[in-house]
Amino acid sequence: MIEAKEFSERRNRLQEEIKELGLDAFLISQPESIYYYTGATYKPQERPFLITIWPQRDPTFLVPKLEKDHIHKANIGDVKSYWEFPSPPGEGWPEKLDEILQGVKTLGIEQGISLENQSCLKVKKLKPLDIVNRQRHIKTPAEIKMIRQSASYADKLMAMMLKNAYYGVSVLEMFGLGRKIQMEVIKSGEFDPLNCEFLSATWPSRFSHMPHGVPPLDGKLTNGPLAFMSYLRVNGYASENERTVFLTKPTEREKDVFNHMRAARQKAFDIIKPGVPCAEVDKAALGYLRKQGYGEFLLHRTGHGIGQGNHEGPWVADGSEHILEENMVISVEPGIYIPDLGGFRHSDTVLVTKDGYEVLTKGSTEIEDLTLLKPKFMKRIIGRLIQKALNIA
Amino acid sequence: MIEAKEFSERRNRLQEEIKELGLDAFLISQPESIYYYTGATYKPQERPFLITIWPQRDPTFLVPKLEKDHIHKANIGDVKSYWEFPSPPGEGWPEKLDEILQGVKTLGIEQGISLENQSCLKVKKLKPLDIVNRQRHIKTPAEIKMIRQSASYADKLMAMMLKNAYYGVSVLEMFGLGRKIQMEVIKSGEFDPLNCEFLSATWPSRFSHMPHGVPPLDGKLTNGPLAFMSYLRVNGYASENERTVFLTKPTEREKDVFNHMRAARQKAFDIIKPGVPCAEVDKAALGYLRKQGYGEFLLHRTGHGIGQGNHEGPWVADGSEHILEENMVISVEPGIYIPDLGGFRHSDTVLVTKDGYEVLTKGSTEIEDLTLLKPKFMKRIIGRLIQKALNIA
């Protein structure tokens, strides 16, 4: 887990930026940012948590009264509270924050704040700034350790999915596997339910060309290409590992599309290193696919940043202004989606290193290793029982 | 499930309001609102879904290209798409939306929109309005049916928790019970993983006075008062049922606090009916507790609205401007939290009826029924095995 010292170092770095920008204060309002600077998790509902970062003194943390007693884990000395949402006059967060911000003329705010909450701020000069997201782009050694651990769980879950798959397996059987990894994380002794997610999802071939559609749980996996996704958040840190899988022998056409998908990935990997614009990585991968005639079968960019969030900057997309730097973590996942055939996409969690990159999720990307033809009698029998119990046999 | 016809009726009602307000168009941008008006679920990340409601013609739905193929379930005729987030110039959502909004001079927007997204809107006159939330406050018959079903699952889960509890049971064993209800919902044939949540949580007495702290999963439930929470979202519709439980004989002081908590609930129930301000309900319950000397042990309001969200308006709180109306659904849950003793709170999901109210979650609120002293040998043996496997025995 991340130590208290690191959270205060993170806040210090933000403080330095605020000094340089000449702000009187900066307001942290987004749940992921609250976690980034304190380690405190909560269910973001209508009661905001707010941290004021000052250029010259310790931060002030404003939370609902309900949360005050357990927020000691945030390790911020000055915790103030407001009554409720809503509150009688003088007791709500806008008034309490106004007291805290007395004398502040220029206040930096996060761009993710809602219009509703922003309209409650009484400071005259508000400056929406992207500095928190930019700080989060570069991962610290402790964060890389957390993402590495998350990625190793993602690999285990993918291996488990490949091991349990057979011709005719239900989507539901695969969906249940995430729980086994969850139990392993619980056993490890560190598990914050508000900060963990274990998703093992599969798409049958007639759905795999719609990578964001929700496949029916009683659907079955038969002919490929099938999409297998291991998508985790382990105590705050995300990772993803996806593979295109076959449960029957792939046709020549399927092999062909598969190979082009892998080649597009390679085009991205070939240029990933610090100093390269993210837009160039996207153009390398998707440009290759367009040149090969797959332009009409592209549905999304090459990748995105991974950290506390499963999706965050830097965006590996045409139109992105981000430049790769050492210790950024991104996904690499160009995909081809053909309506009458299916979707073809591998995704990996990738660390940008000093000279290039390191793939944190392991496991084969080869079609031979992802074509699973073995009979697996026991899995079939157990699966059949599960399917019968659920009336989907 | 909610039928397509109802979604279009909901949009029609919004359209009527827009006409009355004289707006050129209204922009729906919040994930819960998208679901409310279409039935479409998605994982809200950086790629927005946006519905433009027009006073005189059918709505326009703008989604990322990635989602377009499966969004037919939204049953909106005119679906347009943008490329990605971010996009090369001309291909992103702000430009595509700008094309859709050509000629719009006054645009209503939701207050929940982020400052970042709002700043991308090029229409000159933006009117932040609360009309979507207000429409959602009053539940339709189909919604009440969904909430009633959700509440019956919440009751089953609570009954399961009470049945499985014994002196020394781990928090983890209780946490696992939510899955059984999940399987039951899956078996029923309707289950949208993006729209379901099954949380069975318990707080040991030394944590029960911090109702929003996350209790350690290896914690054990021993002396009361213990907080048992069954908190669900079943295919989009929420419910909650909470009880204060004892696994040893409660002391006279505990009984006394418990009875005051129940009396405060009754004060709220005594006045719940259409036309009563929500603030009055809160004052009735918490005012009673203050008069009894528990003022310093209050941490939160009496309740909140329940519907698609586990927490939504109307707010049953002092300072709330909401007035109870027939077919609103709220929680009633005044609580007393004493640091050296623990927390005392029951919570129920309550429908406001024409003349009063109906409690949708059932199950006893009596201390005799919530004091569980029976030995339960088999539960203990199984629990012991689970705890041993997890090294928490």
Residue B216 pLDDT greater than 90, yes or no: no
The answer to whether B243 and B158 have CB atoms below 8 angstroms apart is yes
**CA A151 to CA B151: how far, in whole Å?**
38
**CA A242 to CA A349: how far, in whole Å?**
10
In degrees and rounded to multiples of 5, residue A141 shows phi and psi of -55, -40
Q: Please state whether B202 falls in left (phi above 0), alpha (psi between -120 and 50) or beta.
A: beta
Residue B227 pLDDT greater than 80, yes or no: yes
| Amino acid (1-letter code) at residue B173 | E
Q: Assess whether the previous peptide bond of B128 is cis (omega < 30° from 0).
A: no
* pLDDT value of position A100: 97
Residue among B301, B305, B334, B304 at smallest CA distance from B318 = B301
In degrees and rounded to multiples of 5, residue B330 shows phi and psi of -135, 165
**CA B239 to CA A234: how far, in whole Å?**
28
What's the distance, CA A60 to chain centroid?
28
| Distance to chain A for B55, nearest Cα, Å | 24
Residue B104 pLDDT greater than 70, yes or no: yes
Mutate to test the interface with A, among B91, B93, B111, B115 (most CBs of A within 10 A): B115
Give A318's contacts in chain B (Cβ within 8 Å): 84, 87-88
The average pLDDT across B52-81 equals 89
Mutate to test the interface with A, among B214, B302, B390 (most CBs of A within 10 A): B214
Contact B88 A318 (CB under 8 A): yes
Higher per-residue pLDDT: B106 or B217:
B106
For A283, the closest chain B residue by CA position comes to: B88
| Distance to chain B for A301, nearest Cα, Å | 7
The average pLDDT across A258-278 equals 98
Q: What is the per-residue pLDDT across A329-374, written as a single tens digit (0 to 9) for each? A: 999 999 999 988 999 999 999 999 999 999 999 999 999 999 998 7
CB-count exposure of residue A116 (10 Å: 0-12, 13-18, 19+): middle
Higher per-residue pLDDT: A104 or A384:
A104
The average pLDDT across A259-263 equals 98
The average pLDDT across A174-179 equals 90
Residue among B128, B60, B116, B122 at smallest CA distance from B85 = B116
Domains of chain B and CATH, by start:
4-137 (3.40.350.10), 141-389 (3.90.230.10)
Confidence of residue B193 (pLDDT cuts 50, 70, 90): confident
The average pLDDT across A76-80 equals 87
Q: What is the per-residue pLDDT across A10-22, written as a single tens digit (0 to 9) for each? A: 999 999 999 999 9
Contact B118 A115 (CB under 8 A): yes
* pLDDT value of position B45: 84
Mutate to test the interface with B, among A69, A96, A118, A282 (most CBs of B within 10 A): A69
State chain A's maximal CA–CA distance in angstroms.
73
Query: What average pLDDT is seen over chain B?
Result: 93
Residue B393 pLDDT greater than 70, yes or no: no
| Distance to chain B for A68, nearest Cα, Å | 9
Specify the 3-state DSSP secondary structure of B52. Answer: strand
What's the distance, CA A282 to chain centroid?
19
* pLDDT value of position B375: 74
Contact A84 B317 (CB under 8 A): yes
Contact B42 A212 (CB under 8 A): yes
Q: Of B86, B211, B315, which has the smallest distance from its Cβ to A85's Cβ?
A: B315
Tell me how many residue pairs between chain A and chain B have CB atoms under 8 A apart. 151
The answer to whether A335 and A300 have CB atoms below 8 angstroms apart is yes
The answer to whether B68 and A210 have CB atoms below 8 angstroms apart is no
* Token reading at A225: 């290409």
| Amino acid (1-letter code) at residue A91 | E
Residue among A34, A23, A232, A39 at smallest CA distance from A107 = A23
Contact B319 A391 (CB under 8 A): no
Which region among A50-64, B85-99, B185-199 has the lowest average model confidence (pLDDT)?
B185-199
The number of beta carbons lying within 10 Å of the beta carbon of residue A191 is 21
**CA B39 to CA A204: how far, in whole Å?**
23
What percent of chain A is modeled with pLDDT above 90?
78
Contact B69 A210 (CB under 8 A): yes
Confidence of residue B236 (pLDDT cuts 50, 70, 90): very high
Tell how many helices (H) and how many strands (E) occur in chain A. Answer: 12, 18
Confidence of residue B118 (pLDDT cuts 50, 70, 90): very high
Q: Assess whether the previous peptide bond of A88 is cis (omega < 30° from 0).
A: no
Half-sphere exposure of residue B341, counting CA atoms within 13 Å on the CB side? 16
Higher per-residue pLDDT: A64 or B392:
A64
Write the DSSP assignment of B308-349 as a string of letters. Answer: SSSSEEEEESTT---B--TT-EEEE--EEEETTTEEEE-BEE
Question: Cα–Cα distances in Å, from A128 out to A26, A38, A114, A174?
Answer: 10, 21, 12, 43
Residue among B239, B237, B268 at smallest CA distance from B335 = B268
Which region among A279-293, B55-69, B71-85 has the lowest average model confidence (pLDDT)?
B71-85
| Distance to chain B for A125, nearest Cα, Å | 15
* pLDDT value of position A71: 82
Contact A67 B209 (CB under 8 A): no
β pairing state of B335-338 and B342-345: antiparallel
Q: What is the per-residue pLDDT across A93-106, written as a single tens digit (0 to 9) for each? A: 999 999 999 999 99
Contact A69 B209 (CB under 8 A): yes
**CA B387 to CA B389: how far, in whole Å?**
5
**CA B215 to CA B233: how far, in whole Å?**
21
Confidence of residue A393 (pLDDT cuts 50, 70, 90): low
Contact A84 B390 (CB under 8 A): no
The average pLDDT across A215-241 equals 91
